[in-house]
């Protein structure tokens, strides 16, 4: 894991509480499965039909029949269950997922999310993200703050096709944590060693700084 991803995953796992049903999107979110405290009773759901995902398997012990939505081999915890995609999406659309943690390519200051179309690459489809952003009780997006060209991924308006409009509750990057409120986008935390000025410099979107953060 890169340092940026490690920072993001370490902060994101704090959003998971004991007793939650959680869906982890493909990409960086799948790394969170290995970091959930062992004493927590958390059920990880995958839209391809598995409830009770465990940590990644030890090399050599992979089961090719056990995969997550990103086609990575996973483990299944004792008591886990398997079902078809129709039942999986019924769980999501029925509001039974407490928290969805999704990767993002762009997030706008309105809380819009673009996370399924990769510029310049063939894409098979948007997967389950469009259902998750509308069906999960809470949606958190995690992503690196800037792209490979050092351009902000936290934008005034998304330039990529949208997954959902005004669907993000919280955004966690390697620089900061933002909440989306009726009053707009609010910076509530900076990552260790990061100053507010650095966040402003690397963010295209407009945002306010929480009073609690100013007080620090």
Give the pair of three-digit tokens for residue 96: 């039974």
Rg of the Cα atoms in the chain = 17
**107: closest CA among 139, 149, 70?**
139
Q: Which residues contact 23 (CB under 8 A, 6 or more apart)?
A: 44, 45, 46, 47, 92, 97, 99, 100, 101, 128, 132, 136
- Residue among 15, 47, 106, 144 flagged as catalytic: 47
Closest residue by Cα to residue 165 from 90, 101, 110, 117: 110
Q: Is 47 a catalytic residue?
A: yes
In DSSP notation, 185-205 reads EEEEEE-TT--HHHHHHT--S
C-alpha to C-alpha distances, 178 to 72, 79, 83, 173, nearest whole angstrom: 29, 36, 35, 9
Tokens at 62, concatenated: 């992979």
Q: Kindly list the catalytic residues.
A: 47
């Amino acid at each position: 894991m890169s340092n940026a991803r490690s920072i993001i995953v370490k902060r994101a796992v704090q959003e998971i509480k004991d007793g939650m049903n959680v869906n982890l999107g493909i990409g960086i979110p799948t790394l969170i499965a290995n970091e959930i405290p062992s004493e927590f009773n958390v059920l990880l759901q995958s839209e391809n039909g598995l409830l009770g995902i465990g940590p990644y398997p030890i090399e050599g012990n992979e089961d090719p029949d056990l995969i997550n939505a990103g086609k990575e081999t996973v483990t299944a915890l004792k008591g886990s269950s398997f079902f078809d995609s129709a039942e999986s999406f019924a769980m999501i659309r029925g509001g039974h997922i407490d928290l969805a943690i999704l990767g993002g390519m762009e997030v706008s200051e309105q809380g819009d999310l673009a996370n399924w179309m990769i510029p310049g690459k063939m894409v098979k489809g948007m997967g389950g993200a469009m259902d998750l952003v509308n069906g999960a009780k809470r949606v958190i997006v995690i992503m690196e703050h800037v792209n490979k060209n050092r351009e902000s991924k936290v934008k005034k308006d998304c330039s990529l096709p949208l997954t959902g409009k005004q669907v993000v509750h919280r955004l966690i990057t390697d620089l900061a944590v933002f909440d989306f409120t009726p009053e707009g986008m609010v910076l509530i935390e900076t990552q260790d060693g990061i100053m507010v000025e650095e966040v402003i410099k690397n963010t295209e979107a407009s945002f306010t700084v929480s009073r609690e953060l100013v007080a620090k």
